[in-house]
Amino acid sequence: QSVLTQPPSVSAAPGQKVTISCSGSSSNIGNNYVSWYQQLPGTAPKLLIYDNNKRPSGIPDRFSGSKSGTSATLGITGLQTGDEADYYCGTWDSSLSAAVFGGGTKLTVL
């Protein structure tokens, strides 16, 4: 059981937009920055979004992040087949003094 809650799967057609939600509490998302990671099959995770909505260099602006209260959202526009991957949200939990992840969301581009 993950501290952060994500939907197990989402799907959309190529070229469309998809959003992935991440729900937490005041001890984690509510008072700390959220980051998002993409894990392509058989590879290590890759940082997509940090500090709720910032993109590292090299990450296309098709990827965006937002946060409101105790929830965060990852948005991906102009879906490509290469975006098929598992996506994880993460943050610090001040009560646990631990980093926490969501359970992950598998994106299928139909």
Partner 1 sequence: EVQLVESGGGLVQPGGSLRLSCAASGFTFSSYAMSWVRQAPGKGLEWVSAISGSGGSTYYADSVKGRFTISRDNSKNTLYLQMNSLRAEDTAVYYCAKGVKLVIPFDIWGQGTMVTVSS
Name the residues that contact partner 1, by CB under 8 A.
2, 33, 35, 37, 39, 44-47, 50-51, 56, 86, 88, 90-92, 96-104
* Shortest Cβ 16–partner 1 spacing (Å): 25
> Shortest gap between Cβ of 23 and partner 1 (angstroms)?
15
Q: Please, which residue, 16 or 26, has the CB nearer to partner 1?
A: 26
Contacts of 73 (CB under 8 A, 6+ apart): 19, 20, 21, 22, 65, 66, 67
CB of 75 vs partner 1, minimal distance in Å: 18
Contact between 79 and 18 under an 8 Å Cβ cutoff? The reply is yes
Closest to partner 1 by CB, 13 or 42: 42
Residue closer to partner 1, measured from CB, 96 or 110: 96
> CA–CA separation, 65 vs 72, rounded Å?
7
**∠ at Cα 37 (77, 91), nearest 5°?**
115
**Angstrom distance (rounded) from CA 49 to CA 36:** 5
In terms of CB distance, is 16 or 32 closer to partner 1? 32
Report in angstroms how near the CB of residue 59 gets to partner 1 at its nearest: 11
What is the biggest distance separating any 2 CA atoms in the chain, rounded to whole angstroms? Answer: 40
